[in-house]
Structure 1
Amino acid sequence: MNSLFPTYQRFPIELVKGIGTRVIDQSGNEYLDFTSGIGVTSFGHGNSRIKAAVLQQLSNIWHTSNLFESSLQEDVAKKLIPDGSYAVYFANSGAEANEAALKLARKATGRDGIVSFQNSFHGRTFGAMTATGQPKIRDGFGSLLPHFTCGAYNDGSRLTELITGETAAVILEIIQGEGGVQPAETAWLLAVAHQAKQTGALLIVDEIQTGIGRTGKKFAYQHSSLEPDIITVAKALGNGLPVGAMLGKKTLVESFGYGSHGSTFGGNPVSLSAASIVLDLLHEPGFLEEVQAKGDYFRAALAQNIAKSPHVETVRGEGLMLGIVMKEPIKTQIRELQKQGLLVLTAGKTKQVVRILPPLTVSYDEIDQAVAILEDTLLSVKIGE
């Protein structure tokens, strides 16, 4: 494929069909997809209800632009925030949602300072990239945006120096996905929120990978008493169709009025037809409780079986966002897992974490199959590059 920029390090697998948790490649090989397209297809591949809604929308109208009213946008916004405490801006991706959040924070506060944290990931556009606490994402692009500061994740010792009267917003992830499936400590989250409130800074919670049910709650921040000023979502919201959203408290509406921001494709009706059903499925009675139960079952099975390996440090995460922390890089093992029919991801600064993101609809039998493959591979394959 010489016609493409080599911006991705691709596996030699082309996935051509998917149903539920399973995908098939160009050679007819079948895999358990425990990547979900990096946390995207949370309701599985080819979900019949989502597919029907998309086909229905395709038979009506594909695009209108945001110069016209959209009852579908209004309906999806209400499903995102049923109590109406936040207003919604629709974008096309997580990076776009975060860009909107950073712009809103600066406009609403009249301040410039943005605080983020080491090993975070917020996107690859200039604002989101500047906020990302990973040098490898930023290197080579020249001068980034000014007034951004990066603090230590889960370290509350210097918050008063970090978040000040010049800070417009603090942006953080409840669980750092690309950073190695690293959960935030609740006490630290609350301390950050307190310092932000004390100084008049806004709290932005990036739920792009953790949101829409991934951790067993609609949003991961709901595992604590945190009250974000701004929430960003994307990935799983469209179950594979491109859509993102920024949710801001109603008190911020006047700061994002006519002409302050916009998107040609944001809130596209085809993407939102998928998002509407995703949220319906998410809100079905008992669904999120079942996600948490599956996550607990999966994590316990991993702890019991994978802990046998001398190469494993720990298993961490929440719900169906789990990470097996290894003692060395695991490129060889990821390829072996693929040969055994299991697709997973890596994460962390040195790619030492097996990141596991199955569809939220995964069955217990499929979890058992994945654990057996992981156990066999992690115990038998030589670790390293």
Structure 2
Amino acid sequence: MDRAPGLSVRAKLTLSYAGFLMLAGVLLLVAMWLYLVNSLPNVTTIIGGTLDRSALLRGFVPAAAAVMAFLLVFGLAGGWVLAGRVLAPLNRITDATRLATTGTLSHRVRLGGRKDEFSELADAFDVMLARLEAHVAEQQRFAANASHELRTPLAVSKTLLDVARADPDRDTGELIDRLHAVNTRAIDLTEALLLVSRTEQRAFTRERVDLSLMAEEAAETLLPIAERRGVTIETRGDITPTNGSPALLLQLVTNLVHNAIVHNLPEGGTVWVTTGVRPETVVLTVENTGETVTPELASTLTEPFRRGTERVHTDHAGVGLGLAIVKTITQAHDGTLTLTPRSAGGIRVTVELPATAAHSTTP
């Protein structure tokens, strides 16, 4: 915003300090003047002679003027120094802000001293810079990974077309099937990226949603996939009302249940989908059987395009955004997402969302 030039805050504080000091001096001198006028007699006998009140009053005026001149100079100089010391923390915050506008987010104010308004502002600014730095780094990784993931199907398509051009007698049916699979994967990845982008912007209307109904719908929709893989789905729990986007929350539950099905035991696996109510939140838990997952791996599975090596080479590798989408939808609904390895194998995923103002706690 363009602004007209004006006095700096330091100059304004200096003038304020000096003005206050001058006002105090004037009041003090006026009080002394009134005292001399009203209390002293016309002629006062002192040791060694007499003192004329008129002469005393005439001598008081130049002395008062000298005192006021001294107070003015002292007030301006002292006010300038004091204002500089008071505003020093603000100058550090301003310098850090200028650095941040250039793209340097690693700088921190790190203001020392005891707690006051400036230290609280500096601490809040440092927290904001840390979050911005983490967010920018995450977005950069996301962009790099997305570029790599999108380049792969395009490169495969180009290779298939080059092979077909070099060998006109090659079976076109097989080529079309492979191109269709690669193109479908690219479309799925693009749609997932768009969903992540829209969800992060929170461009959706909130409605009353029952997560238990979402869990039942997701389980019913994915039942054919579970049956083909020999996986049993068990759903149970309470009515869990929350506010949010029905479409996004259904996508969240569907992604969790789908992941739990395809990343399970080769046969005879189980998926448990449970909903519950807490004093201020509602909880959705999806856990499955499967291979042992380390805590280190579990902590990274919500990163975009992150897949365990044992998952990438299966026909259900996906686009690597399933849990990343779940995390984004959870955050957009002001909730928390927790991944915990099960001691018997598999993983437990817990989504906790704010409950509606009035909810039922009936089992």
TM-score, normalised on structure 1?
A: 0.21
Q: When you count strand as a share of all residues, which structure comes out higher?
A: 1
Which has the larger Rg? 2
**Greater RCO structure (CA 8 Å; 6+ sep):** 1
Q: When you count helix as a share of all residues, which structure comes out higher?
A: 2
